[in-house]
Amino acid sequence: MTTMTNQNTAPGTGSPIVLVDMDGVFVNWGQGLNDRLLARDPRYPIVPVGQQLDYDHLCGPGGDRTVLAEVMDSEGLYLNLEPLPGAVDAILAMEEAGLDVFFCSTPFPTNPTCASEKLASIERHLGLRWVSRTILTHDKTLVRGDVLIDDHPGIIGAMKPAWRQLVFDQSYNRNLVDAPRMTGWKHWEKAIFPMLEMAGV
């Protein structure tokens, strides 16, 4: 990998900056939501993980949207999400490989504990020092970086992003047929390093 020369170089490191989304990328948000919905109502028509047809397809036919909103705003939802397979090891390996890794996540606007729980979750899974490497924002286009690993199929904001999105594979983003894609954390190197090389970093 070539030495990074563009304006996204982390001050004092000279390392490429990789931004990592949390929900649906680092932690299994879909399963956490479904578990809570079923605890609230065992007959609730959940959409199993891997069967979402679009990003907002969160309940099946007849699902009570009031119950869905209640669960999405519930305390503890974001605190107790479990990492996706290989995610923790991959984050640490990325750092070991010389990448400057930050989490970049959007708090759910109506959940009053979401932001604090996201930070607590990072501490729980990776340790306290990673809390200061977590950026919470409602506009990811304002954050500088080289690559953003994110499952969202339509990121927009106030700026033209400095980063290029590496789509983290989920059923609801497979319409992005031409986008660089990462299918899980096992072979993260094969997805990230070619993107950095193409960008000349």
CA distances (Å), origin 182, targets 12, 76, 160, 188, 191: 29, 29, 22, 7, 6
**Tally of domains within the chain:** 2
Q: Token pair of 157, please?
A: 């904001």
Domain membership of residue 33 as a residue range: 29-72
Check 21, 100, 150, 151 and give the catalytic one.
Answer: 21
Mean pLDDT of 70-87: 97
Quick one: tokens of 129?
A: 């020092």
| 155 and 60 co-located in one domain | no
Residue 1 lies in a domain: no
Contact 58, 52 (CB under 8 A): yes
- 88: three-class secondary structure by DSSP: helix
Mean pLDDT of 138-155: 97
Q: Is the same domain home to 33 and 21? A: no
| Pair 53, 66 in one domain | yes
Regarding whether 136 and 158 lie in a shared domain, the answer is yes
Tell me, yes or no, whether 96 and 184 share the same domain.
Answer: yes
pLDDT band (50, 70, 90) for residue 200: confident
Confidence of residue 120 (pLDDT cuts 50, 70, 90): very high
Contact between 103 and 137 (Cβ < 8 Å): no
Residues 24 and 34 in one domain: no
Residue 140 sits in the same domain as residue 90 = yes
178 has catalytic annotation? no
As a whole number of angstroms, the distance between CA 145 and CA 99 comes to 11
Rounded to 10 degrees, what is the CA torsion of 76, 52, 87, 72? Answer: -10
Examine the domain organization and report whether 95 and 177 are in the same domain. yes
Average pLDDT of 43-67?
96
Please check whether residues 121 and 133 belong to one and the same domain: yes
% of the chain surpassing 90 pLDDT? 90
Same domain, 41 and 124: no
Q: State the catalytic residue, choosing from 23, 100, 146, 150.
A: 23
Residue 100 is a catalytic residue = no
Q: Which of 25, 31, 33, 60 is nearest to 44 (CA)?
A: 60
Given this model, what pLDDT does residue 14 score? Answer: 77
SS3 for 46? strand
pTM: 0.92
Read off the CATH number of the domain in which 158 is found. Answer: 3.40.50.1000
The closest alpha carbon to 169, from 23, 25, 21, belongs to: 25
